[in-house]
Amino acid sequence: MFNFNEMKKAAQILDELGFRKTEIRLKVLDHLQKVNKAVSQPELEIKFNKFADRVTLYRILSAFEAKGIIHKIMDAHGVARYALCNHKHCMEHQHHDEHVHFNCTECGDVVCLDTVKIPALKLPKAFSSAKINLNIEGICNHCQK
């Protein structure tokens, strides 16, 4: 169901991308792989309570995004979240993230619904589309009934 570069270990990925294998980076990447959700800096800050500075977390996420291993989305509350790219079309500075982002109003989780592609939309003449983000709010599978 979930694969990311054949689920490589965090250390190997950092290596291949030319990142240093620092403890925080390893933890963040490992966490992203394990939870398989779109996580925010504030969430990471709580998760790794005071193990890393806020700014460091922001910079790690930006660095990962720039290398194309994660993608950034604005969630339904306007907070930036990052999730692993689990398809091979994501490359440095060139993401393909045209899937639905589901925001659970119960647990607060945000997940990429990679299987729910966004249908092509016919925009009015003279509008050109470059990027798209579809947030759905509702109850997720874990919180249902």
Partner DNA sequence: ATTTAATTGCAACATAGTTGCATTTAATCA
Partner DNA sequence: TGATTAAATGCAACTATGTTGCAATTAAAT
Interaction site with DNA (CB under 7 A): 14-15, 18-25, 40-42, 51-56, 58-60, 62-63, 78-80
Chain-centroid distance of CA 130 in Å reads 19
Is residue 88 a contact point for a copy of itself (CB under 8 A)?
A: no
User: Using CA atoms, how far apart are residues 114 and 108, in angstroms rounded to an integer?
Assistant: 19
The Cα-based distances of 61 to 18, 80, 95, 143, 144 in angstroms read 15, 10, 15, 28, 31
User: Using CA atoms, how far apart are residues 97 and 38, in angstroms rounded to an integer?
Assistant: 13
Beta-carbon contacts of residue 22 (< 8 Å; ≥ 6 apart): none
Q: Pick the closer one to a copy of itself by CB: 55 or 123.
A: 123
Question: Out of 112, 122, 140, 141, which residue is the one contacting Mn ion (CB under 5 A)?
Answer: 112
Question: Out of 1, 7, 55, 123, which residue is the one contacting a copy of itself (CB under 8 A)?
Answer: 123
Minimum distance from residue 86 beta carbon to a copy of itself (Å)? 15
User: Using CA atoms, how far apart are residues 41 and 39, in angstroms rounded to an integer?
Assistant: 7
Q: Pick the closer one to DNA by CB: 40 or 103.
A: 40
63 binds, among DNA, Mn ion, a copy of itself, none (CB under 5 to 8 A by kind): DNA
Q: Pick the closer one to DNA by CB: 66 or 116.
A: 66
The residues that touch a copy of itself, with contacts defined as CB under 8 A, are 74, 76-80, 100, 102, 105, 113, 115-116, 118-119, 121-141, 144
Interface contacts to Mn ion, rule CB under 5 A:
83, 112
